[in-house]
Chains A and B, each alone.
Chain A
Amino acid sequence: MCGIAGIIHRDGAADLGAEMTKMLQSMKHRGPDSTGFALYGPKDDLVVIRFVLAEPNEGGFGLDERLEKNRAEVESRLAKIGADVATMNSETGYAFRATVRYSGELKPLADYLEDVPGCEVLSLGNSLEIIKDLGDADTVGDQYRLPGFTGTHGIGHVRMATESDVDLASAHPYWAYPFADVAVVHNGQLTNYHQWRRRLERAGHRLQSECDSEIIAVYLAQKMSSGMSLETAMKESLDDLDGVFTYLCVTGDQLGVAKDEMAAKPLVLFESDDLVAVATEEIAIRALVEREVETRDPYEREVLVWQV
């Protein structure tokens, strides 16, 4: 099933962490297994890296020592590749947030870090931060202290595991490796997943998961990296991607939604002068806007993009 949600503030930054947590918690019934956020804070010259060194439920002898050793290895590799670490912290012991001064290519940076045992880069960019973990939105929000996270736009996802494990690799959102500041959440199924996976892998991309949603993120980012606008890339995806889907894509300054030609997956949209909110169910919008509001369901093959 799963539930997706997104917000974009047109009038400046707000407490995005608290807002997204409320929206996602209200859709817990659509997926209590894991919850994820892609939040855009103030744009910085520093590169923000969110990465994990182990699965949340991973155990075993010497885990703490292993995590510490691997964290030190990450820091060492950052130094070797020319990324000067400004901050490095962790709320959980296995998930980390680092900010670095780095002006090189992101792909070698991500690849070098992920060569560290257990390391998975969740996001890279100047303002994107992907936070995802097991449990509902309140649990993950508390764990990562998301209320108070100030930003302009973001997306989120609650997951009911149906075809893959309850783990971080299968949790949304997906960062569009190796492109900065692009993330996607998706509700649906792509039936030409393997075809697109092969195409993207042949083009040199590696995929972190077995999940079809990640394909959408990399597909869009690849098109945008060649100069295409987000809106055009999303429109082309309606012909290229087969299946039933509704997805949200965010970049450093945009939020987009797309619905497949059957309009088989739900999405409700609220738009005002200063705020746009979208969600699988209206109950999530009501969690954010505590009054009766005018909302609508986008139609089949509808693509909408908003700018910060």
Chain B
Amino acid sequence: MAGVGTKSGVEYDARGLVEPDATVGDVAEIDGDKAQFDATDLTTRQINMLLKRLVYEQGIDDVTIVNPGSKHSLAVGILKRCKITFEGSPGWFACGIIDGPEVQINGRVGWSCGENMMSGVVTVERGAGSLTGAAIRGGDLVIKGDVGARTGIDQKGGLILVMGSVGINTGFMMQRGAQIICGDAGHGLGDSMYDGKIYVGGTVASLGVDCVLGEWDDSDTEYVNRKFAVHNLGTPPELQKFVCGKQLHNYDALEPSERKLVL
């Protein structure tokens, strides 16, 4: 399908869904093992192509991207230890499916930051949209502002640490890992969670199905203090712990044939 030119210089197909031009020149300024480039005139695909080329082919392990312009899906699928800094907001789906990088975002992020992240650290200096850390499996995702709805939905490991407040259905169907929410949590906290821990410093609008107040012990204190120290976040606020009540049907010990009899 032929591309269609627009005033912005970006090319789309007839549905406006793809950027056929995936080539990008050597626009990065390289200084030893560090590089920096301005993304103002680059498309999402060009930014990611250049980033991967620097990290995988040119051996650069510290890349700074200036003016990302909220262009979405940036720094996705980076499976190598390196440092990536965004000077500005990378938009939606930033840093998805990463395994290893340390990402510093000097701005905010839109929906689904760090989705399916495997390991590494993502630090966001401002707020984040909904679905932050969806299905995260490992690593630390630190948001210094407020976050939208469904934070850590389907979380399978790792840590989501929010210095502000979170919206509705945070921790929905969470399966493992931890969340530390320093501010308030919206309705339905931890709804249908299977396992994991959610620490909340502020008020909780309501608990979701099968989410209950947990008993605080020394390991919780050690974990929270360690994470705050690692990320230079100062002294943690007083927190409450919420866990799975394990009363839903998926926690009973009945064999399928026995369940049929019960039903």
CB atoms of A297 and B168 under 8 A apart = no
Closest to B72 in A: A283
A166 to B16, CA, bound (A): 15
Given A262-B168, A297-B127, CB of A292 within 8 Å of CB of B12 = no
Q: Are B167 and A263 in contact (CB under 8 A)?
A: yes
Q: Which residues of A contact B149 (CB under 8 A)?
A: 262-264, 299-300
Contact check, B130 vs A266: say whether CB atoms are below 8 A apart: yes
- Complex interface: chain B residues within 8 A of A261 (CB): 168
Q: How far is the CB of B208 from chain A (nearest CB, A)?
A: 13
Residue B194 is within 8 A (CB to CB) of chain A in the complex: no
A123–B69 alpha-carbon span in the complex (Å): 35
Give min CB distance, A101 to chain B, whole Å: 38
B129 at the interface (CB under 8 A from A): yes
Residue B3 at the A interface, CB < 8 A? no
| Residues of the A chain whose Cβ atoms lie less than 8 Å from the Cβ of B150 | 263
A138: interface (CB < 8 Å): yes
B257: CB under 8 A from chain A?
no
Within 8 A of B (CB), among A82-104: none
- The answer on a CB contact under 8 Å between B12 and A29 is yes
Question: By the criterion CB–CB under 8 Å, are A282 and B110 in contact?
Answer: yes
**Residues of A with C-beta under 8 A to B7:** 25, 138
A246 to chain B, nearest CB (A): 11
Contact of A283 among B91, B145, B168 (CB under 8 A): B91
How many whole Å from A73's CB to the nearest CB in chain B? 37
Interface size bracket, B side: 35 or more
Q: Any chain B CB within 8 A of the CB of A281?
A: yes
Check B168–A263 contact: CB distance below 8 A. Answer: yes
Interchain CB contact (< 8 A) of A32 among B8, B16, B107, B167? B16
A136 to B145, CA, bound (A): 35
Contact B16 A283 (CB under 8 A): no
* CB neighbors of A among B61-109 (8 A): 69-72, 87-89, 91-92, 107-108
Which residues of chain B have C-beta atoms less than 8 A from A32's C-beta?
12, 14-16
Contact of B88 among A28, A264, A266, A292 (CB under 8 A): A292
> When chains A and B are docked, how far (Å) is the Cα of A31 from the Cα of B17?
9
Q: How far is the CA of A25 from the CA of B4 in the complex (A)?
A: 13
The docked-state distance in angstroms from the alpha carbon of A5 to that of B62 is 36
**Is B34 located at the chain interface by the 8 A CB criterion?**
no
Most buried by A among B71, B126, B168: B168
Give the residues in chain B near A268, CB-CB below 8 Å: 110, 129
Tell me the bound Cα distance from A51 to B107 in angstroms.
44
Task: Tell me whether A283 and B71 are in contact (CB under 8 A).
Answer: yes
Give chain A residues whose Cβ lies under 8 Å from the Cβ of B87: 292
B49-70 to A contact mask, C-beta < 8 Å, 1/0:
0000000000000000000011
A136, A262, A286: which contacts B16 (Cβ < 8 A)?
A: A136
> B146 on the interface (CB 8 Å rule)?
yes
Cα–Cα, bound, A256→B187 (Å): 24
B→A interface (CB under 8 Å): 6-8, 12, 14-17, 69-72, 87-89, 91-92, 107-108, 110-111, 126-127, 129-130, 145-146, 148-150, 167-169, 186-187
* Interfacial residues, chain A to chain B (CB-CB below 8 A): 25-26, 28-29, 31-32, 136, 138, 261-264, 266, 268, 281-283, 285-286, 292, 294-297, 299-300
Query: Could you give 30 example pairs across A and B, Cβ below 8 Å?
Result: A26-B8, A28-B12, A32-B12, A32-B14, A32-B16, A136-B16, A138-B6, A262-B149, A263-B149, A266-B111, A266-B130, A282-B91, A283-B69, A283-B72, A283-B91, A286-B69, A286-B70, A286-B89, A292-B87, A292-B88, A294-B126, A297-B127, A297-B129, A299-B148, A299-B167, A299-B186, A300-B149, A300-B167, A300-B168, A300-B186
Given contacts A282-B92, A299-B167, 15 further A-B pairs with CB under 8 A are A29-B12, A32-B14, A136-B16, A263-B168, A264-B149, A266-B110, A282-B110, A283-B71, A292-B87, A295-B89, A296-B146, A297-B148, A299-B149, A300-B167, A300-B186
